[in-house]
Structure formats: structure tokens, C-alpha cells
Structure 1
Amino acid sequence: MGRLAYVNGRYVPHAQAMVHVEDRGYQFADGVYEVVPVIDGVLIDEEPHLDRLEYSLNELMIAWPVTRPVLKLILRELMARNGLARGIIYLQVTRGVAPRDHKFPAQAKSALVITTKRLAPPSEAVLRNGVAISSQPDIRWTRRDIKSLSLLPNVLAKQAAFEAKAFEAWLVDAQGAVTEGSSTNAWIVKGGEVVTYPKNNDILGGITRLSLLELAGRTGVKLVERSFTLAEALAADEAFITSSSAFVLPVTSIDGKKVGEGRPGPVTLQLRQIYLDNVARQIEAARRAGER
């Protein structure tokens, strides 16, 4: 059996997965999404991801399409049917199908689409050499804390980074501060401090970011949530990015200029290992609970 998707109550072949032409996600980007990593068949940081989904739905006044326990069953069923051991599971919830009108429809039912994707871990070359960053202006709306489908500015930034032969774009606001990446959170290490932008409406609160803040705090690493400029990043000892798909990746150049010594630094590598150890504990806990 080929790859399947879940669409509004049905498991269907991925190539035949479709939504109505008047789904508000298609016409207005009126919806939210989540991406949950899967390692060894286990959903990593599942509860925080579902908490963020709930937050995004509440902020946009979109009803849950199914209850949270039912959603968790659907996620596991789709993973099992697709034989997903390592990769991501993508969830999208829209306000539903209704005749095109900007105001909320009175009767629409929330629509749910879920897909899976296999992903290999970052290559040894990436971990050994780090990745390049291209800075881009931050032109997004002011509610970046909502994991909304409205991602066109992020798409443009990622494309610009690709054309600059960079792995990721760091978005710089009108005051010169680096807010976050187009699909990652941004961090620097300077003078023994690990710095990342504070959680507010200016950034999406990454789940890996949240987990790393909690984990690193227990190790005695000094964490500071504040804004930092592009110039500070270029003068930093180390830099790195976090995301649900890559966890912690070292940044070794920004706009063609070396960060630190131009290779992954010890603090970054330590934090990556701390997070990987956390993933291993979640997998072991799932194994003991009989989920694997």
C-alpha cells in the first residue's frame, strides 16, 4: 500500500488527497498547522505541540475538528499505516468550507488534514561544518506567535536564502534585531551567555526552543531571552538554529562572514547533545508504555 493521508475523517491515497475549492485555508490562509517530529516511531514533544495547536486555534477562534484524544489516535494510526519510523507528521486545521466571504461563516465545520513525510537526520557534513545563514528583512504580520498558514513572507525569505546558497534566512526587523529564521529559531553564544529572542508576538514559540530552554537551564548554562542585532550575531562566539525537523544545528557563517572560528562551537554541540538525550528518554518512555 502506498502513502496515505488523512482528510476529514478518511484515510486516502496521498495522490488523491483533496480539499474543497472553497476551503478557507485555500482561499484565505484561514487556518493553522503543526509539525511534529517522529523518531523511532515516537512523536517527540507531542504534548507541547498539541498545546501550541490549541493556542493557535483559540487565537483564531477556530474549533477543534476532533477532540484531542481522538486526534492522538489518528496521528498514531496514520503513522502506522504509512510505516513512519523517522520524519515528520503535518497537521492542518482550517475554518472549513463556506462560500467565499471575508467574515467568519456561521455554519462551517473545521477541516482537518494530516500527512506524513520521511526525513533523514542532518548529514555528518552539516554537523561537522555547520550551516550558512542569509539575513533578510522581516516583513511578516505582527501575530507571529500564531502558527498560521499565512507563510508567504517566510517562503520569500527561504527562497532568497536558497538563491544566496544559504541553508536558512534570519529575519531582521526595522530596529535591526534578528527575530528568528524563516522556519527556525535563532540563537547566539557570547561571553558564556546563550541568547535568543524573547517569546512574544514577534516570534513563533518553537517547541524545540522551549524544550532547549528548559533542558539547558538545568545544566547551569546561562540563558538570556533578549533581542540581538545582526552585528552582535556576527561578533558572537557561536550561533545556532533550532527546529522540530533538525533539532539543534550550528551556524558557522552569516551573509558570507564567519561566526566565531567558522566551525561548530562547544556550547552548540553540548546543547545539541542535551536535546538528543531528551529525545532518547522520550523514546525509552514510549517503549516502556508500549507505544513502540
Structure 2
Amino acid sequence: MTRTVYVNGDWFDETNARISIFDRSVMFADSVYEVTSFLDGKFLDFDGHIKRLKNSLKALEIEFNVDRDEFLDIHRELIKRNGLENGTVYLQVSRGAGDRNFVYDNSELKPCLFMFTQTGIVKNLDKMPQLKMISVKEGRWCRRDIKTTQLLYSSLTKTHAHAEGVDDAVYVEDGYLTEATSSNFFIVDRQGTLVTRQLDHSILPGITRGTILELARKNGINVEERLFTLEETYAASEALITSTTNFAAPVLSVDGRKIGDGKPGKVTMRLRELYIEHVKRS
């Protein structure tokens, strides 16, 4: 069964969907994206994803109006047409198509929007990921806070990690951890404090990250948003990642070193439980 996808206001069978070879997302990764999960037909943190989409578009000066209600209607129609209850919706907005030129003129370009569904989230509902990771030197551009489609370095890094027999990698810059290849990274120190890097240009403001921090504070878990080192990670009692598709998932080892006792920790499991409860309520 092929998917129904959405491209610039029209619906297509996925085999018939097309965008221009001159689209700037193809030539310059001049585009932004969001991935929103849905469970039982309901979207998780939808407003947070829309807010971040608007911020990313503004940061790249892509002139595209995002109407929250219109986008929600399209999301709902997309999962309806594909007959899905659980999964994710990927959306991408590029600056548009034009002759290849490093200098762009927004007045001559019409942004391109497309959206499609995926079902990979289902496996993370049935079985919680338990990750082994390696550390890798940060090599991405300096504005990682913008959710652009410049993902080649992360793709190369995650593929390298898999070749090394682990699940993912966490980036290190100037001695401090930033984030994993496609998720935010946390540790729980020996005093039970949840620690993650503060928001700046070096990491993506993850929607799930923000919800997890809010839930932690509301439920008596001490939180620190600050720089932390690889040595602190090795010595931590727990480590975890958060993302739209993984929710909160334990990291069992980094660079072959067990984190804590090498098993999912109590704080991680509590946060995952709180997040799933939050999802069901909202």
C-alpha cells in the first residue's frame, strides 16, 4: 500500500509526488522541517512544533505564512487518508525553486511545502529503546538551534556509530557535550539531578526536551541546564535521550563505559512514565 502525501496544496500517491530539481532544499539544504508524533490519532505537543517551525522560518528569512489551524487540518487529513492511528508526520518548507544561485531573492521564489507520514514510532511504543552510544567530535554548522535539513554530518555520524556496533553518537565540542545526532542528551548525576545543556545556538530546542524538563520540575526532580563534560557523563548514575519518536529513552553506555549499573535508571523510567501520562492527558 502506497502512502498519500501532501505537496503544495495537493494530494498525491507517493509514487506521483514531485518537487523541482531546482528547489533550494535540493541544492543548498535551504529548508526547515518538523516531525510531529501522533498516538491514537492525537498529535503530541503540536503547538510547540508549530512555534519552532515559525522560529526556524524566521531565522532563515523564509517568507512563508504558517496558519496553526490550517496546518492542524492538513495533519489530521493526512493521517486520515493514510488510515493511521500511531506514527509521525514529517513536514518540510523550502525557500522554493529557482536557478542555482548562492544569492537568493525571496521576491522571485515561492516556498515549497510537502508532508508525509511514517509509522516507525510504533516500535518505540511496544519496546523502549535502550541505547549504547559513542562520543564524536562536533562537526556541524554553528546554528544547530534552527531545525534545518542540513543533516548530512548527523547521517554520516549515526551510520558510523552503527558500523561500530552501537546505536548512536553524542557530540562533544570544546570539551562539553552538545546533543546526540537526532535527539537531546541528558545525564542524571550521583545526587539525582537531571542535567542537560542550556539552550543556545549549539543545540536544537527539542519539543520533547522542554516537556520533560517541565514534568521533572513539577514532580520534584531537581534540574540543571548547564554545560557538562564527557567525564561527568561517564561518572553519571544515568543518561538518557529525548526526542519526538523516542520520548525518553535510557542510554546504557557511552564509549564502551557503563553508565551507572548499565541498566535503565529510576529517574529515566519515571520521566518516561510521566511523559506518556502527559501525552494521554493532552
Cα deviations by residue, 1:239-275 (Å, 9 ceiling, x for unpaired): 0000000100011111111110010111110111110
Shift of 1:62: 0.6
Measure, in 1, the Cα distance between the counterparts of 2:33 and 2:139.
20
What are the equivalent positions in structure 2 for 1:203-222 lying under 5 Å apart? Answer: 203-222=203-222
Decide whether the 8 Å contact of 2:145 with 2:201 is kept in 1. yes
Decide whether the 8 Å contact of 1:193 with 1:223 is kept in 2. yes
Matched residue of 1:155: which SS?
A: helix
**Paired residue for 1:71?**
71
Measure, in 1, the Cα distance between the counterparts of 2:193 and 2:67.
41
Decide whether the 8 Å contact of 1:97 with 1:108 is kept in 2. yes
Higher deviation after alignment, 58-67 or 211-220: 58-67
Shift of 1:237: 0.4
Decide whether the 8 Å contact of 2:2 with 2:15 is kept in 1. no
User: Equivalent pairs: percent with the same residue?
Assistant: 41
Higher deviation after alignment, 261-270 or 60-69: 60-69
Tell me the number of residue pairs that the alignment of Structure 1 and Structure 2 aligns. Answer: 279
Decide whether the 8 Å contact of 1:65 with 1:112 is kept in 2. no
What are the equivalent positions in structure 2 for 1:60-209 lying under 5 Å apart? Answer: 60-64=60-64, 67-105=67-105, 106-119=107-120, 120-122=122-124, 126=128, 130-173=130-173, 175-190=174-189, 191-209=191-209
Decide whether the 8 Å contact of 1:65 with 1:93 is kept in 2. no
Decide whether the 8 Å contact of 2:54 with 2:66 is kept in 1. no
Measure, in 2, the Cα distance between the counterparts of 1:72 and 1:110.
19
Measure, in 2, the Cα distance between the counterparts of 1:3 and 1:251.
33
The residue identity in structure 2 corresponding to 1:183 is S
Measure, in 2, the Cα distance between the counterparts of 1:121 and 1:216.
25
The residue identity in structure 2 corresponding to 1:113 is F
The residue identity in structure 1 corresponding to 2:86 is R
Question: Which consecutive residues of structure 1, in runs of 5 or more, have no partner in the other structure?
Answer: 283-292
Confirm whether residue 247 of structure 1 aligns to residue 237 of structure 2.
Answer: no
Quickly say closer, same or farther: Cα 1:125–1:117, change in 2 above 3 A.
Answer: closer
Decide whether the 8 Å contact of 1:6 with 1:78 is kept in 2. yes
Shift of 1:184: 0.5
Shift of 1:144: 0.4
Shift of 1:88: 0.6
Quickly say closer, same or farther: Cα 1:60–1:39, change in 2 above 3 A.
Answer: same
Cα RMSD between the aligned structures? 1.4
Measure, in 2, the Cα distance between the counterparts of 1:66 and 1:48.
13
Question: Which consecutive residues of structure 2, in runs of 5 or more, have no partner in the other structure?
Answer: none
Measure, in 1, the Cα distance between the counterparts of 2:10 and 2:65.
13
Q: TM-score, normalised by structure 2?
A: 0.96
**Paired residue for 1:289?**
none
**Paired residue for 2:34?**
34
Measure, in 1, the Cα distance between the counterparts of 2:127 and 2:77.
35
Shift of 1:63: 1.7
Cα deviations by residue, 1:63-119 (Å, 9 ceiling, x for unpaired): 225533222211111111011211110000000111111111332111101010112
The residue identity in structure 2 corresponding to 1:59 is A
Measure, in 2, the Cα distance between the counterparts of 1:215 and 1:267.
12
Decide whether the 8 Å contact of 1:65 with 1:110 is kept in 2. no
